[in-house]
Amino acid sequence: MRRRNAAKKEKTESTETAPWRSWSLRRQLLVGILVPTLLVICFNTWSLHRKALVALNTAYDRTLLASAKSISEELDVTGYDDLAVLRAIVPYSAQEAFETDNQSRMFYRISNLHGELISGFAELPVWRGTIPARPPYAALVDFYDSTFRGDPVRVAVLLQPVSSAEGRGMAVIQVAETLELREAAALQILWDTIARQLVLVGVIALIVVLVVQRATRPVRQLSQTIQARGEDDLSPIDGAAAPRELQPLIDATNDVMQRLSHLLEHQQRFVRDASHQLRTPLAVLKTQVQSALRDDLPHRQALEEIGGTVERATQLANQMLALAKVEQLRQQSQPVSVRWDDVLRDVALDISPLIAQSDLDFGIQTDSAPVLAHEWMLRELCRNLLHNAIRHTPEHGTLNVTLQVDGNEAMLTIADTGPGIDNELATRLFQPFSAGDVRAGSGLGLAICQQIVQAIGGSITLRNRADGAGKILGLDARVTLPLSRT
C-alpha cells in the first residue's frame, strides 16, 4: 500500500512539474528573466506612487499653511487672554476665493481656544486635537484628514497669537481643502510612471528576445547538424566554434558516439566471426549426419564423431559469447573491488577433476590481492588460463600457480611443463581464432584473456621456460593487474 501511495505521489509530482520541464530553453530564459523584471517594476511603480503622494501632501500642506497664515494677518483683538475678543476683517472677496476653485474647494474657520466661531464656515468641525511635539514647520500647526459636506478634506490647523494696542489673544485658524487636485496630480504621476515602465518593459523584452535568440542559435545549429547526419554516422561532432558552455555537452556526446561506434564495430565483427566460424562445424556436422544415415560408419562411431563436433561447436559458441560479454561489461558497468586470490582458488577447485584426470602435480600459492574488476571477468581469465595449462601439460606433469603482490600490482604466474610455444606462433597467439592446435581448441581462449586483462588495465605475456642448455621445460603464463586502492 505504501509503495502504491509513493508511486502515486511521485506520478502526481511528475505531472505537476512536467509543463515547466517540457518548456524550450528560450521560453525558460524569457520567463525566468521577464517575470522577476516585471515584479521589480511593479514594486517600483507602487513605491514611486506612494512617494509621489507623500510629496504632493507635503506641497499642498504647505499651501494650506500659507493660506492660514494669510488669514491670521487679518485678525484683530481687544482685551487680554481669557477676556480677549477676536475680530476677523477678512474681506468678502477673500472669502469667495475659499468657497470655489477650478479643481478643488477650500474652506476656513476662525475660532478662539474655546471653539467659539469668529468667522468662516460654521459646519466645519471644531478641531479637538493637539499640536505635535515636533511640528513639520516653524509654527503651531497640525494637519489631519477629515470630511466636510460628505467629501474627504485635508485640514491645516494654525494656533496663531494675535496682539494689538488694545489686547492680546490666541486664534484657532482651520483651513480645509478637498482632495480633487491632489488625487488628479497623483493619478497623473501614476499614469506617467506606468507609461514609462511599460516602455521600459518593452525595451527589456525586446533585448531579452534578441539576446536569447542569439544565445540559443548554437544549440539549434548543433541540433540541426546532428539531425542531418546519416543513421550510421558516428563521427565526432566538430565543436570548435561552439560556445564554451556547450563544450561539455559536445565532449560527452562525442564520448558516447565513440563508445557506440566501438560497440557497433565489435558487434559487426562478432556477427562476422560467428557466421564464419560456425559455418565449418555445422557443415561437418551435416556431413556426419548424412554419412550416418547412409550407414557408412557403425552407429556408435558415427555418434561419437557427431558428439565431438557438437562439443567443439558448443565450446566455440560459448567462447564467442564470453568474448562479447567482456566487451559489454567493459562498456556498460562499473567494476568493484574483488579478491583475486579467492576467485583463483574457487576456479582451481572447480576444475580439480581435470587436474586429477591428468594426474598432475598441482601446487597453488596466493597472497591477498584485491583488484578493481568484475568477478565474472576474473573467473573467466583464471578458467581459460588453467584450462590451457592443463590441456598442454602431459600426464603426471607439474602445474604450479602463484599469485604474488609486488607494490601496487598483483602478478599471477601459471607454470606448466608442456612443450611451450614457437616464436612464430607467439606473435599471433592472442589474436582470435589463432590456436596452436585447431583440433584441441577454437583459438579464442587467449583472446578472451587478453580482452579481460586490457579491460582491467593490466598485461599478459607468454614465455617459454628453459634450462641452461636451451631446452624448453614448459610455458609461463603471466598476468599483472593493478591492485584496488579501496
- Whether residue 260 lies inside any domain: the answer is yes
239 pLDDT more than 90: no
Q: Give the residue from 296, 314, 332 where a domain finishes.
A: 332
Based on the fold, state whether residues 444 and 404 are members of the same structural domain: yes
Rounded CA gap, 316 and 327, in Å?
A: 17
Highest mean pLDDT among 103-107, 162-166, 472-476: 472-476
Task: Give 145's Cβ-side CA count (13 Å radius).
Answer: 4
Q: Tell me how far the alpha carbon of residue 222 is from its chain's centroid.
A: 20
Closest to 169 in 3D by CA, of 70, 72, 92, 68: 72
The DSSP string of 376-394 is HHHHHHHHHHHHHHHHHSP
Q: Which of 305, 332, 359 is the last residue of a domain?
A: 332
Q: Are residues 93 and 149 in the same domain?
A: yes
Same domain assignment for residues 249 and 341: no
> Rounded CA gap, 138 and 165, in Å?
25
Query: Would you state the cell numbers that stand for residue 127, as one nine-digit string?
Result: 478641531
* Element housing 480 (H / E): strand 472-482
DSSP 8-state symbol, 235: P
Q: How many Cβ atoms are within 10 Å of 77's Cβ, its own excluded?
A: 21
Nearest to 111 by CA among 62, 170, 60: 170
pLDDT band at 438 (very low <50, low <70, confident <90, very high): very low
Strands (E), 83-194: 85-88, 106-112, 117-120, 141-148, 151-164, 167-178
Q: How many of the other CB atoms lie within 10 Å of CB of 486?
A: 7
Give the residue, 137 or 325, on which the prediction is more confident.
137
Does 478 lie in the same domain as 338?
A: yes
- Other beta carbons less than 10 A from residue 230's beta carbon: 7
Cell 563544450 sits on residue: 247
* pLDDT tens profile 160-200: 888 887 888 888 888 998 888 888 888 888 888 888 888 98
Which of 312, 332, 352 is a domain's end point?
Answer: 332
pLDDT in tens, 400-424: 999 999 888 999 999 999 888 876 6
Q: Does 215 fall in a domain?
A: no
Number of domains into which the chain is organized: 3
For strand 141-148 and strand 409-415, is the pairing parallel, antiparallel, or unpaired? unpaired
Label the pairing between strands 167-178 and 75-80.
parallel
**Has residue 84 been placed in a domain?**
yes
* Residue 325 counted as domain residue: yes
Report the C-alpha gap between 255 and 237 in whole angstroms: 10
Looking at the structure, do residues 347 and 401 belong to the same domain, yes or no? yes
User: 261-271: per-residue pLDDT in tens?
Assistant: 777 776 666 66
Q: How far is 443 from 434, CA to CA, in rounded Å?
A: 5
Interval 262-321: pLDDT, tens = 777 766 666 666 665 566 667 777 777 887 788 777 878 878 777 777 776 676 666 666
- Whichever domain contains 85, its CATH number is 3.30.450
Contact between residue 135 and residue 148 where contact means Cβ atoms under 8 Å apart? no
User: Which SS3 state, helix, strand or coil, does residue 477 take?
Assistant: strand
State residue 35's pLDDT score: 87
**Which one is predicted more confidently, 223 or 445?**
223
> Which residue in 425, 444, 436, 452 sits closest to 278, CA to CA?
444
| Least reliable range by pLDDT among 69-73, 89-93, 195-199 | 89-93
Q: Say if residue 477 is in the same domain as residue 349.
A: yes
Give the separation between CA 355 and CA 210, rounded to whole angstroms: 78
Closest CA to 108 of 99, 130, 151: 99
Q: State the pLDDT confidence band at 72, using cuts at 50, 70 and 90.
A: confident
Residues 319 and 371 in one domain: no
Whose cell is 480633487? That residue is 180
- Of 181 and 323, the structure prediction assigns the larger pLDDT to 181
Q: Are residues 306 and 366 in the same domain?
A: no
Q: Give the number of other CB atoms < 10 A from CB of residue 249.
A: 14
In a domain, 63, yes or no: no
- Per-residue confidence (pLDDT) for residue 343, from 0 to 100: 92
Same domain as 315, residue 451: no
Task: Give the 3-state secondary structure percentages of the chain, helix then strand then coil, rounded to 5.
Answer: 55, 20, 25
361 confidence band (pLDDT: 50, 70, 90): very high
Q: With respect to residue 65, please indicate whether it lies within any of the assigned structural domains.
A: no
What is the DSSP secondary structure assignment for residue 269, as one 8-state letter? Answer: H
Does residue 223 form part of some domain? no
Write out the residue range of the structural domain in which residue 260 sits: 228-332
Tell whether 114 is covered by a domain. Answer: yes
Cell for 372? 578493481
Residues 445, 356: one domain?
Answer: yes
Residues 475 and 369 in one domain: yes
Grid coordinates representing 68 are: 492660514
Same domain, 351 and 415: yes
